[in-house]
Every structure is written in C-alpha cells, then in structure tokens.
C-alpha cells in the first residue's frame, strides 16, 4: 500500500492539472485496484462534498440538544433571566451577564504557533460569513457599501459594520461575524442595537429582524447596547441560557473553557428567574450560580470589571493570576505555561491598558506579585 | 476533548447528558440529512430525528459499541421515515415511495452505499468541527479555493502562521479521519 499522502497529493495534482507525466504513470498504476478506482471517482466529485458540508452545517446542534433536554428533563432547573424595566427609568439599563460553563462543549484546544508572530495587542478584525456561506475579511482599513437587497445596505468602515435595512416584518438571512484571537469588532444591527464583540467570539444574527422577538446567538463575549423596543424583546442565546431584555445594555460572556454563571447589573433593575427561585438585583449586585449545586448567591461587585474591556482597559481587582493570563492570552494570542501551578492563585489588583504591549503588563505583574515571566516565541512561561 | 468510544457508549447506556450531547454534536446533522432524503420536502426532518433521540433515551438495554449504536440510529431514522410515509395522510406518500425505489428497504445495496457515503461525510464534518476555530476557518477557506496569502490577509496573520496552522490541522485531520475520508478531503486542500 502506497503512502496516503503521496496518493492524495497525486489526486490533488490531477485535479489542478499540475500532475507530471511520470506521476500520471504512478497514479495509473495505483488505479489498477478496483477499490482504488472507486475511491478516485468519488474524490473527483468535488463540489458535492463542499455542498454536503454546507448542508450539514445548517442544522443547529446546540438548539436541537436543548430541545431534547427540555423534553427528557421536564422538571430540570433552567435559568432564565428577565429584565424588569422600571417605568420611570429613562436611561438605558446596563446589565452585565457573564456566563461560564463547563459541561457540554469539548475543551477548546489552544493554538500553539511555532513561529514568533509578535506580542502586539489585538486590533479590529473579523470574518463575516454571509447566508450563502461566502466569507469576507474585515479589518481596520476596509471601507465598503454592499447592496444586499433593494434599499438594504451593509456599510463597512472604520467604526465597524452597520446593517441599514428596512425591516419588513420577517427575520431574514442569518449572517455570522467571527472575531479571532487578537481581534475585536463592533457592529450595528438592523434595529440599531450596538454590539462590541471581544476576541475569539462569534455572533449570529439576521440581516433584518422580524416582528417577533429579536434573537441573536453568541459564543464568547460581547457587550450589547440594545435599541429600546418594548414590543420586541431582545434575546441573546448562548449555549446554556438566554438573556432576555427589552432595551438595555449588558455584557454576556460564555467562553467554553470558563467555569461558572454570573449576572451583573450595572444600572436599572433586573429579575433573575430560575425554575423555582427568583432574585431581584440592585445595581452593583451580581448573581452567581454554582452550576453543580444549582445554588444561586447574591454578591456586591465593581461592575466596571465586567465591561471595561470594551473601553480599552482591563481592570482587575484581587483577580487570580490564571484568570488574568487567560484574558491576556485571548487578546495577544499567546499561550501560557505554568512551571508551578501554585502561582495560579496569586491575586493582582490594577488597571492594564489594552493597547499596550504585553511586556508592559507582564512587568507590572512581576512587580506586584511573586512571579516571573519569560517570553519564548508566543509562549509565556510563568515561573 | 471527547471521551473514548467506551466512555461514550457507557454514557449512552447510563443515559448521561454529556454522552447524549456528544451524539447530538457528532450524529445529529448527518441523521437529519439522511432523513431529508426520505421526507425532507414533506415534513421537518429535525422532528423525525428529535423523536429518535428521545426514544433512544427511553429505550431499555444497552449497546455493545458505537458501531452498533450508529447502525441503530440510522435504521431507526429510516424506519420512522417509512412509517411516516406509509401511514401518513400525506397523499404524496405514494409519490415518495415510487421515487425512493430501492432504498425503501434498509438492507439493500443502494441504501448501504448511501450509508457508507453518509458516514464518510459525517466523519469529515465532525473532524472539521473539532478543530480550534481559527484552524477550521483556515481549512474551510482552503476548501473554497482561497490561497494562503488571501487567508493570511483575511485573518490578519502572517502567511507563515497560516502555513503552520494548516499543517497542524492536516496532521490532526489525518489522524482523526479514516483513510477514505482523509484522502477525499485532502484533494481539496
């Protein structure tokens, strides 16, 4: 049996018409086997493959699994968040919800990159996927106006992405915006809602919202400034809970590798409902749910800690070193290696400017904690 | 990452949420696509597959291995579709029966071929989805015929990074996929 890679490389050369004559002979010899011939024929039907992948991708596995668990565990505790808008409140209510969860997703592998890229901070960048699967790279410099339909535009400029759409009563066309590590990006949805997407995060949303509730799906972290519309609640769906609001601003965080559920209220009033318990939050309070015991506690927090990322700052207050470095790793796209795991629990308090080089931050951390860092390529070794 | 096949099968036999989540992640789209070939135009294939999973949850008795479970799932979907077609008030059932011809029985060469192909797509789909996001995007863009330079520009990383990540993705996919699936995929890369 010939080496797979060799044969596959011959296939590829054949497809791209770059195959050399003696390679044709080699391929022909290999094709003498009946089984091999079948395989070859199948492999040459290329477009079908990409098409099938697209079809498979259409099915929402998360939603299907949620539907399933609702049926097989009808009594299970589910967490629901409602924002109760006080009638007298004129200002937008700011609610920050951080969701950490651990069970259902496979742990995301970090990206070990062998070469040195540069340890400069992230910048504006994202990949936009249209409903037909085509992708478009967005960066700082691009300026464009795309006509999606009659009277419907997608404007891209230095301030981000903006959907200018006459809403027709029906939610149409899902687009997807993915922000890689070392990235951040802003967008404005068809209803005027502003979204700040953090590094390594993905948002799926319709090009125009319909008459029903406004729904978007989030993986990772985003800050929403929701356009007020009491008739159409705004719902952010994440892998294990939905945040439902009328018109407010809040932060949602659900990176797959983080651990518990938190909801933080900045301004206004919010009611958190779980199957058989409910909790009213005052500004500056946080509801924290321990997912294993199902117990929910209320604590006082400094809400700036949960939303400062969108304003160019990382604010830490007696934060564990490991959590700090996880945040930095997403923004600078580096990997962290701990020589001793005991240092993970060292606490740090301070403000770090997001657009400074990571070296600055490490120096600061070295000065105020008991650890030393060494940068090797894009790996940070914690000693 | 995912557990070993034994752990998964034990999880399914013990009705663990985690194992069922794994099944949804790895089989759900493929089962839907399979169902769609039978009833797609007339009813929602997702409803059919949802029912099968609920039945599996309620089912007594365990499975020996993943292969047996996989065969059970496809057969169950197949049967459910046929029951729907035959017993449904749907007049178009007749039309469907005619069109489906040989695949109406589960154990026919045509259906077997269909299932082999489905398994092969399923594997590629699952493997692609288990890549870290950035690597998956790189592989997908490559499949669409994009060059390294274009990908590098899109992701705002260096061409070398694209190459490195791609290489890693390939090593991973190669390990994860059966020989046939990998060869197929590789011709696109």
Name which residue leads in pLDDT, A24 or B31. B31
- Is a pLDDT exceeding 60 seen at residue A83? no
> Which of helix, strand or coil describes residue A141?
coil
Predicted confidence (pLDDT) per residue in B85-97, tens digit:
776 655 555 666 6
- Is a pLDDT exceeding 70 seen at residue A151? no
**A68 with B187: Cβ contact below 8 A:** no
Q: Which alpha helices (H) appear in chain B, and where do they start and end?
A: 5-13, 17-39, 45-58, 66-87, 92-100, 109-129, 133-143, 148-155, 159-176, 179-186
CA A100/CA A260 separation, integer angstroms = 4
Give the pLDDT of residue B73: 93
Give the pLDDT of residue B98: 63
The model's confidence at residue A204, banded by pLDDT at 50, 70 and 90, is very high
CA A40/CA B184 separation, integer angstroms = 8
**A71 with B1: Cβ contact below 8 A:** no
Give the pLDDT of residue A88: 28
Q: What is the ipTM of this complex?
A: 0.82
**B143 with A50: Cβ contact below 8 A:** yes
Give the pLDDT of residue B52: 94
Q: Which of A69-78, A94-103, B162-171 has the lowest mean pLDDT?
A: A94-103
B24, B116, B119, B144: best mutation site toward chain A, by most A Cβ within 10 Å?
B24
Q: Which alpha helices (H) appear in chain A, and where do they start and end?
A: 4-15, 21-30, 34-44, 46-58, 61-72, 304-307, 321-332, 358-368
Q: Which of A264-268, A313-317, A327-331 has the lowest mean pLDDT?
A: A264-268
Chain A residues in contact with B145 by the CB 8 A cut-off are none
- CB-nearest partner of B28 from A64, A103, A127: A64
Triad B138, B131, A10: Cα angle to 5°: 60
Chain B residues in contact with A182 by the CB 8 A cut-off are 156
Region label for A22, one of left (φ > 0), alpha (ψ between -120 and 50) or beta (otherwise): alpha
Give the pLDDT of residue A114: 37
Q: Which of A78-82, A248-252, B7-11 has the lowest mean pLDDT?
A: A78-82
Give the pLDDT of residue B156: 80
Give the pLDDT of residue A289: 67
Cβ B160 vs Cβ A115: under 8 Å: yes
**A145: exposed, middle or buried (C-beta count within 10 Å: 0-12, 13-18, 19+)?**
exposed
Give the pLDDT of residue A182: 84
> Which of helix, strand or coil describes residue B43?
coil
Q: What is the mean pLDDT of chain A?
A: 73
> Which of helix, strand or coil describes residue A58?
helix
Q: Which residues contact B28 (CB under 8 A, 6 or more apart)?
A: A59, A61, A64, A65, B49, B53
Give the pLDDT of residue A243: 64
Contact status of B182 with chain A (Cβ, < 8 Å): yes
CA A211 to chain centre: 26
Chain A residues in contact with B153 by the CB 8 A cut-off are 137
Q: Which of A169-173, A212-216, A222-226 has the lowest mean pLDDT?
A: A169-173
CA A56/CA A48 separation, integer angstroms = 12
Q: Tally A–B CB contacts below 8 A.
A: 149
Cβ A247 vs Cβ A230: under 8 Å: yes
Residue A182 tokens, joined: 């070392």
B59, B155, B171, B180: best mutation site toward chain A, by most A Cβ within 10 Å?
B155
**A56 with B160: Cβ contact below 8 A:** no
CA A56/CA B34 separation, integer angstroms = 10
> Which of helix, strand or coil describes residue A264?
strand
**A254: exposed, middle or buried (C-beta count within 10 Å: 0-12, 13-18, 19+)?**
buried
The model's confidence at residue B100, banded by pLDDT at 50, 70 and 90, is low
- CB-nearest partner of B182 from A4, A115, A200: A4
Give the pLDDT of residue B23: 92
Highest mean pLDDT among A114-128, A337-351, B158-172: B158-172
Cβ B134 vs Cβ B110: under 8 Å: no
**A180 with B128: Cβ contact below 8 A:** no
Contact status of B29 with chain A (Cβ, < 8 Å): yes
CA B163/CA B145 separation, integer angstroms = 15
CA B52 to chain centre: 15
Predicted confidence (pLDDT) per residue in B61-79, tens digit:
889 888 899 999 999 998 8
Give the pLDDT of residue A96: 41
Closest listed residue to residue A140, CA positions, set A156, A121, A119, A120: A156
CA A331/CA A355 separation, integer angstroms = 10
Predicted confidence (pLDDT) per residue in A262-294, tens digit:
677 766 666 666 555 567 777 777 777 665 666
Predicted confidence (pLDDT) per residue in B102-126, tens digit:
556 777 777 777 787 788 888 888 8
Q: Which residues contact B7 (CB under 8 A, 6 or more apart)?
A: B19
- Is a pLDDT exceeding 60 seen at residue A241? no
- Is a pLDDT exceeding 90 seen at residue B56? yes
- Is a pLDDT exceeding 50 seen at residue A115? no
Share of chain A above pLDDT 90, in %: 3
Place of tokens 């890689």: A180
Predicted confidence (pLDDT) per residue in B4-39, tens digit:
788 889 889 988 888 898 899 999 999 999 888 877
Radius of gyration of chain A (CA): 24
Contact status of B60 with chain A (Cβ, < 8 Å): no
- Is a pLDDT exceeding 80 seen at residue A109? no
**B125 with A56: Cβ contact below 8 A:** yes
Question: CA dist B1 to A107, A221, B139, Å?
Answer: 6, 22, 20
Contact status of B143 with chain A (Cβ, < 8 Å): yes
For A157, what's the count of Cα atoms within 13 Å in the CB-facing half-sphere?
A: 6
Name which residue leads in pLDDT, A8 or A69. A69
Q: What is the mean pLDDT of residues A132-140?
A: 79
């Amino acid at each position: 049996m010939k080496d797979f890679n060799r044969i596959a490389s011959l296939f590829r050369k054949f497809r791209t018409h770059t195959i050399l004559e003696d390679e044709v002979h080699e391929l022909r010899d290999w094709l003498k086997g009946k089984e091999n011939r079948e395989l070859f024929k199948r492999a040459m039907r290329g477009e079908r493959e990409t098409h099938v992948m697209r079809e498979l991708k259409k099915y929402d596995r998360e939603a299907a699994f949620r539907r399933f668990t609702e049926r097989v565990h009808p009594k299970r505790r589910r967490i629901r968040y409602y924002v109760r808008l006080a009638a007298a409140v004129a200002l937008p209510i700011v609610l920050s919800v951080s969701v950490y969860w651990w069970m259902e997703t496979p742990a995301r592998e970090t990206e070990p990159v062998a070469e040195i890229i540069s340890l400069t901070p992230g910048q504006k960048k994202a990949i936009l996927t249209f409903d037909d699967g085509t992708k478009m790279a967005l960066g700082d410099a691009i300026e464009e106006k795309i006509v999606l339909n009659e009277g419907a535009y997608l404007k891209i400029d230095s301030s981000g992405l903006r959907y200018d759409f006459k809403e027709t009563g029906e939610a149409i066309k899902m687009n997807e915006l993915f922000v890689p590590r070392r990235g951040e990006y802003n967008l404005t949805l068809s209803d005027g809602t502003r979204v700040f997407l953090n590094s390594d995060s993905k948002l799926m949303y319709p090009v125009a919202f319909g008459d029903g509730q406004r729904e978007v799906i989030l993986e990772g972290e985003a800050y929403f400034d929701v356009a007020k519309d009491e008739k159409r609640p705004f719902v952010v769906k994440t892998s294990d809970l939905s945040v439902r609001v009328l018109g407010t601003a809040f932060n949602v965080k659900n990176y797959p590798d983080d651990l518990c559920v938190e909801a933080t209220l900045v301004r206004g009033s919010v009611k958190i409902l779980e199957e058989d318990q409910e909790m009213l939050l005052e500004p500056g309070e946080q509801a924290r749910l321990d997912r294993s015991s199902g117990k929910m506690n209320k604590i006082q927090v400094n809400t700036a800690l949960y939303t400062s990322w969108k304003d160019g700052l990382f604010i830490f207050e007696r934060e564990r070193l490991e959590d700090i470095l996880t945040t930095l790793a997403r923004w600078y796209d580096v990997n962290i290696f701990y020589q001793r795991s005991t240092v993970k629990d060292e606490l740090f308090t301070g403000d770090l400017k997001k657009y400074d080089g990571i070296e600055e931050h490490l120096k600061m951390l070295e000065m105020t904690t008991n650890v030393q860092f060494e940068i090797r390529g894009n790996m940070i070794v914690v000693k | 990452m995912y557990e070993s096949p034994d752990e998964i099968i034990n999880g399914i036999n013990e009705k663990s949420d985690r194992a069922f989540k794994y099944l949804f992640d790895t089989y759900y789209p493929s089962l839907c696509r399979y169902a769609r070939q039978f009833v797609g135009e007339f009813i929602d294939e997702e409803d059919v597959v949802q029912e099968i999973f609920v039945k599996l949850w309620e089912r007594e008795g365990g499975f020996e291995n993943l292969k047996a479970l996989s065969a059970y799932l496809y057969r169950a979907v197949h049967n459910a579709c046929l029951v729907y077609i035959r017993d449904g008030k749907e007049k178009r059932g007749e039309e469907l029966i005619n069109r489906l011809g040989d695949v109406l029985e589960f154990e026919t060469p045509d259906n077997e071929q269909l299932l082999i192909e489905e398994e092969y797509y399923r594997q590629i789909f699952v493997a692609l989805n288990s890549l870290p996001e950035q690597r998956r995007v790189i592989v997908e863009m490559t499949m669409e015929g994009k060059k390294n330079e274009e990908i590098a520009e899109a992701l705002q990383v260096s061409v070398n990074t694209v190459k490195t990540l791609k290489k890693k993705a390939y090593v991973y996919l190669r390990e994860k996929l059966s020989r046939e699936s990998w060869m197929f995929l590789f011709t696109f890369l």
